[in-house]
Amino acid sequence: MVRPLKYVRLEDYVRLICIFYTSNTDLKVEYVFKVYDSQRKGAIDVAQMYKLLESSIILNHDDDPTIQVKELIDIVILMMDTDHNGKIDLSEFR
Q: Are 93 and 84 in contact (CB under 8 A)?
A: no
Least confident of 51-55, 62-66, 70-74: 62-66
Dihedral of the CA atoms 40, 44, 46, 51 (nearest 10)?
70
Q: What would the pLDDT profile of 20-53 be if each residue is shown by its tens digit?
A: 888 999 999 998 899 889 899 999 999 999 988 8
What percent of the chain lies above the pLDDT cut of 90?
A: 45
Architecture of the domain defined by 10-93: Orthogonal Bundle (1.10)
The domains of the chain are located at 10-93
